[in-house]
Structure 1
């Protein structure tokens, strides 16, 4: 069940229904759209979704799906159940064309029925559709291709039309003769031709000559300048035409009545076929709507759960698409551990949109509509969805807004269970805050005890505390950019959100004394808690950004590692090939040397040299052979080393390094830049990473190598776009007025760090004058930051000592 009665209106599902309806091709599909309803049956919902998903594939992949002539002739067919009734000519033509469409669709779906059907869920719809080809043949014997009754529809009709044509031809000849005579006597204009009035052939005549032609006056033109005379000579013939036309009409009715009699036994099957055509029309409309909003069939479970990744509000998506803007997707998860999500954050920050997105998409999927989210999402089913959004005060029932909320809460408590989904906006609002917050907490406790699921928005601090202290309930926040003072419309689950009431009041321009007085009234603890929430939210976004950057760097390192591993394997293969080639060449050289040695020995023996002389020569030759082998090995090793490191240079010894030099770690390839040297250590920035390194572990490289590394520091277009987008959004002014010292210092640290990373050359920090303590803390910190080249007071005309201008490398 869904509650209240205007549930669809509250989540704007009626607009979804209208959009689906606009894609229907006939009243058949529109009727199904109006009947679309919320279901709790897993089998039914899965079947609906599968049918629509299959039709999406048809729209994307098929070109020959029959999509013409979706006519609704069910009313005509139902009238034919009465004996003696007939189907009129126009309805018969629509019946024929829509029947052909039904036959074509069933043939399309049944083409692989005996093998592995491509669209099994749509095929199951066609299971009860009975095809009667003889009906089409029967209609084709009656109608031509333009929907007109054929002369051959019956022998009697052919005879009647033959006689009718003969009579009309005879009258035409007589009229033409009379017309020529009248024209020769000047009674009728030269360019006048016979006309038809009330089914009778007549001659247009000037009123002054109407008595000159014997006959019957049938009509007069609007201007009164022409009268239409039926000559007496053709009156009888015209009467005969009337009789023949009546005979033709009676024969046509007889033919159509005979066809109705023939068709009557098939009417139940035909009505079932048009029911099928209505479903196909409805499903194709849902599929076209799904493509319009980029919707998919999600992984669906027969249990209450929500695990959505990048879900979109379809109506907001379509609206922003017209403005060339993008909607911020929603990531949300509700499970048995965290069933109820408490969302807090500033007004106009997207809390209600988040709530409506959950309600609309869950209702859509349980009505059988595909929904826009990512494929790795998981969708569960709920037996009930209860919603409490908006002002429900009633003059008729004398109910205030808060009273109507309480009535809804009463209904929720009575009917909710472990399979219910509660959607409550501004929980507990509308009455005195203290008692409203207490009642809201008590209600939340009951919902939690009943193990219901829910998404609830609130500003009450006690509700946030309850979520922190009780299992089954979890906090969430709509993020807000504190520096730019604008909502991010992004849901973050795990921490409560801040209302940013003070910041928004300052942005609007409320007098500072009013804001200060408000802070005194609520107390510093309340203000500080709100600021702590802001700090947590800001830190979380900062570290999420850092984590994303690290992820990109890690992927780059992994890619480089894979590349180097492949290079090493290639080098190892080349080494083996070179050594094998060198060994072969050495063996050839030794063989040549041995042949030379043996030749010398033969010469010695032939010259009758003594044994001692022979031994001496052999030793000399052995020494020669060893020298050749060593020389060949040296040449091979040199060639191998040359191929392994063709550009290697001699290491630089005792090279003095200075700030600004391009360097790299010895034995590494990534180049960096020295920012500062402190004793035996140097501050070096490698890509986006800044670290201290011992000077003796660094070696100097060329500036061109550094530029190449800096280009490769952002290897993919996504990272470049990310940095470019961050740089565009970066504001060079930071306002820390009103912050505590530690809070201001932390904000400045993040601010300066981001500015250095993005290559910003100058920024301004607004700290005010006051006692000067905040200014001193900030400037003491700036003296310790590598990358800060200079800072000073702003020009007196633009803020003077209340603003510090910082120049960065």
Structure 2
């Protein structure tokens, strides 16, 4: 269950849905994109993800997945189920194209299915094995229409005879027309470069109005300027009439042929439509795999219970946005356990707290909608029954709700329905009202979340929540790191210690008068200022020791590399010594 209804828009998933639709080859796949939904059923989610992962491996291989020319002909086929109706030649070309895709897919899955029944792509094969092939129908269509969608002359003996007569009659008309025009040119009625035209399907001669009575025939039309009239010579009127009759006979025969062919195809229509839907679902899966490739998503280790051990997690929409700007995204490593289920993130404004929160929301939601998440393969992810979110301002004029009232309404909903399989995502917890009581209520709510063993990621500036997280089992502090020297956010999450809001430092950087900053420090008191300084020092020291550890690791690697090289050199010297001694002996 997802709450609230605007969840997808708040975390950016609506954009991902559009991206999947754009990567579909056909509207068949796009239809499944709209049906993509959240699931908390472990076998279902595992099947979705495994199918997409298998498709990704196909896309990354040299093998082509045969989906190229599928068409959505389900509506055409549905109409053709009514007796007496028929499928037109262009529509039959699309049907034939889709049937060919079904056949190619059946061949593909058969080629990857072994004698023991196992498949190279077992989860995709569960879907692909349901696709039916219709070779006889394809052969019937090929007998009737060519690859351009035209009815073949030999589709029936009657059609061949009609077209033969059409050809000979048209040839006779052309011969008569040349003779009439040659005589008209000799008589000076028309210019030598005049060519015949068509009016209402009949062959006519363009003639100046002054000579229209000199040529025997029927006037069919005149030009807009009135300087040309179009005459059908009397010699070819009968022949033109015959052509019209033959054309009507041709249309009637084509209609008869198409009705017969549609009658042959009609019993298979339900199964064709069913297979078409399966092809559309495979198109949808390949679109998900193409998106996974674009956002560097992978198949994590999946468990049935809630679990969160993520490495190199990114928000896909932010990733693509920064990539277009030739910028790098800062990935998140985040681990929550049953002993530390709720992460309280603090740190400066514009430091990345909300982005971190939305990243957690969209990555988990992607997973449970069947999209491979943008995390490294060594990540471990679990299944949540519910995801509750409180991000942004939901105040409502119609419902007479203030910002804070809307937050409280959400908290009430979360507490009524939350349990050990619930993930809550709350931005600026306790904000929107007087800080002291807001912080107190937030702490009380947080305590209830913890008592219910709920999981969560919560951002805040409140000191009491940081202290509460430090002293309470089940909660853990985290901070968004800030470069104190450059006075700019690093957008990097650090779990284990609370973060400073850097309010005083940011005020100085902006250039706020020192007297205001001094007064502010006096107002909040030395304890608060000292606490903020301690947090800064802790963050600074942590970065210092992290850099130290990294430098030590690099030196250890260099020493190990040198040692390996020395051992190799020593072994070569020993071997050389043995060779020299052997030669000397």
TM-score bracket for the superposition, by shorter chain length: over 0.9
Tell me how far 1:43 sits from its aligned partner: 1.3
CA distance in 2, matches of 1:25, 1:188: 56
Query: Where do residues 19-34 of structure 1 align in structure 2 (5 Å cutoff)?
Result: 19-34=19-34
Tell me how far 1:579 sits from its aligned partner: 5.7
Match 1:423 to one of 422, 425, 429: 425
Native 8 Å contact 2:144 2:151 kept in 1: yes
Tell me how far 1:564 sits from its aligned partner: 2.8
How has the CA–CA distance of structure 1 residues 232 and 433 changed in structure 2, closer, same or farther, with 3 Å as cutoff? same
What whole-Å deviation, never above 9, does each CA across 1:419-467 have from its counterpart, x for those lacking one? 0110000001001111110110011001111100000000000110110
How has the CA–CA distance of structure 1 residues 329 and 229 changed in structure 2, closer, same or farther, with 3 Å as cutoff? same
Query: Where do residues 597-616 of structure 1 align in structure 2 (5 Å cutoff)?
Result: none
Counterpart residue number, 1:272: 274
Counterpart residue number, 1:246: 248
Tell me how far 1:227 sits from its aligned partner: 2.2
CA distance in 2, matches of 1:574, 1:216: 110
Equivalences, count: 583
Counterpart residue number, 1:8: 8
What whole-Å deviation, never above 9, does each CA across 1:178-233 have from its counterpart, x for those lacking one? 11111212222211122211111111112332222222222233443322211222
Native 8 Å contact 1:176 1:194 kept in 2: no
Residue 357 in 1 paired to residue 371 in 2? Answer: no
CA distance in 1, matches of 2:348, 2:381: 29
Native 8 Å contact 1:437 1:462 kept in 2: yes
Residue 442 in 1 paired to residue 449 in 2? Answer: no
Tell me how far 1:523 sits from its aligned partner: 0.3
How has the CA–CA distance of structure 1 residues 581 and 246 changed in structure 2, closer, same or farther, with 3 Å as cutoff? closer
Native 8 Å contact 2:292 2:372 kept in 1: yes
Query: Where do residues 366-381 of structure 1 align in structure 2 (5 Å cutoff)?
Result: 366-381=368-383
CA distance in 2, matches of 1:306, 1:384: 15
What whole-Å deviation, never above 9, does each CA across 1:79-127 have from its counterpart, x for those lacking one? 1111101001110011111211111122012113134532222222122
Match 1:316 to one of 315, 318, 330: 318
Counterpart residue number, 2:156: 154
Tell me how far 1:498 sits from its aligned partner: 0.2
CA distance in 1, matches of 2:114, 2:575: 55
CA distance in 1, matches of 2:580, 2:155: 93
Which SS does the other structure have where 1:110 is aligned? helix
Tell me how far 1:571 sits from its aligned partner: 4.1
Counterpart residue number, 1:533: 535
Query: Where do residues 226-305 of structure 1 align in structure 2 (5 Å cutoff)?
Result: 226-305=228-307
Native 8 Å contact 1:308 1:373 kept in 2: yes
Native 8 Å contact 1:349 1:488 kept in 2: yes
Counterpart residue number, 1:188: 190
CA distance in 1, matches of 2:134, 2:48: 28
Tell me how far 1:393 sits from its aligned partner: 1.0
Tell me how far 1:295 sits from its aligned partner: 1.1
Counterpart residue number, 1:482: 484
What whole-Å deviation, never above 9, does each CA across 1:483-504 have from its counterpart, x for those lacking one? 1100000000000000000000
Counterpart residue number, 1:90: 90
Match 2:404 to one of 402, 405, 415: 402
Counterpart residue number, 2:67: 67
CA distance in 1, matches of 2:549, 2:148: 70
CA distance in 2, matches of 1:418, 1:219: 84
CA distance in 2, matches of 1:180, 1:289: 67
Native 8 Å contact 2:219 2:230 kept in 1: yes
* TM-score under structure 2 length normalisation: 0.97
Counterpart residue number, 1:752: none
Native 8 Å contact 1:164 1:244 kept in 2: yes
Tell me how far 1:356 sits from its aligned partner: 0.4
Residue 542 in 1 paired to residue 548 in 2? Answer: no
Comparing 211-220 with 331-340, greater Cα deviation is found at 211-220
CA distance in 2, matches of 1:141, 1:367: 45
Question: Which has the greater radius of gyration?
Answer: 1
How has the CA–CA distance of structure 1 residues 525 and 188 changed in structure 2, closer, same or farther, with 3 Å as cutoff? same
Tell me how far 1:274 sits from its aligned partner: 0.5
Query: Where do residues 157-236 of structure 1 align in structure 2 (5 Å cutoff)?
Result: 157-236=159-238
Residue 114 in 1 paired to residue 110 in 2? Answer: no
Counterpart residue number, 1:678: none
What whole-Å deviation, never above 9, does each CA across 1:633-679 have from its counterpart, x for those lacking one? xxxxxxxxxxxxxxxxxxxxxxxxxxxxxxxxxxxxxxxxxxxxxxx
Query: Where do residues 783-798 of structure 1 align in structure 2 (5 Å cutoff)?
Result: none
How has the CA–CA distance of structure 1 residues 536 and 233 changed in structure 2, closer, same or farther, with 3 Å as cutoff? same
Tell me how far 1:65 sits from its aligned partner: 3.1
Which SS does the other structure have where 1:446 is aligned? helix
CA distance in 1, matches of 2:156, 2:51: 45
Q: Extract unaligned runs of 5+ from structure 2.
A: none
> Any runs of at least 4 consecutive aligned residues in structure 1 with deviations exceeding 6 A, and if so which?
none
Tell me how far 1:29 sits from its aligned partner: 0.8
Tell me how far 1:18 sits from its aligned partner: 0.8
Counterpart residue number, 1:473: 475
Which SS does the other structure have where 1:341 is aligned? strand
CA distance in 1, matches of 2:420, 2:465: 21
CA distance in 1, matches of 2:377, 2:301: 8
Which protein, 1 or 2, shows the higher relative CO under an 8 Å CA cutoff with sep ≥ 6? 2
Tell me how far 1:575 sits from its aligned partner: 4.9
Counterpart residue number, 2:105: 105
* TM-score under structure 1 length normalisation: 0.71
Native 8 Å contact 1:128 1:272 kept in 2: no
CA distance in 1, matches of 2:247, 2:294: 53
RMSD: 1.5
Residue 51 in 1 paired to residue 51 in 2? Answer: yes
Tell me how far 1:264 sits from its aligned partner: 1.1
What whole-Å deviation, never above 9, does each CA across 1:318-349 have from its counterpart, x for those lacking one? 11111111000000011201100000000000
What whole-Å deviation, never above 9, does each CA across 1:664-697 have from its counterpart, x for those lacking one? xxxxxxxxxxxxxxxxxxxxxxxxxxxxxxxxxx
How has the CA–CA distance of structure 1 residues 156 and 509 changed in structure 2, closer, same or farther, with 3 Å as cutoff? same
Query: Where do residues 549-628 of structure 1 align in structure 2 (5 Å cutoff)?
Result: 549-575=551-577, 584=585
Tell me how far 1:53 sits from its aligned partner: 1.4
CA distance in 1, matches of 2:224, 2:405: 71
Counterpart residue number, 1:510: 512
Native 8 Å contact 1:477 1:496 kept in 2: yes
Residue 522 in 1 paired to residue 524 in 2? Answer: yes
Match 1:492 to one of 488, 491, 494: 494
Native 8 Å contact 1:219 1:227 kept in 2: yes
Tell me how far 1:559 sits from its aligned partner: 2.2
Tell me how far 1:541 sits from its aligned partner: 0.4
Native 8 Å contact 2:99 2:134 kept in 1: no
Native 8 Å contact 1:26 1:72 kept in 2: yes
Match 1:341 to one of 334, 340, 343: 343
Counterpart residue number, 1:729: none
What whole-Å deviation, never above 9, does each CA across 1:355-413 have from its counterpart, x for those lacking one? 00000111111111112111211111111111110011111111111111111111111
Native 8 Å contact 1:74 1:274 kept in 2: yes
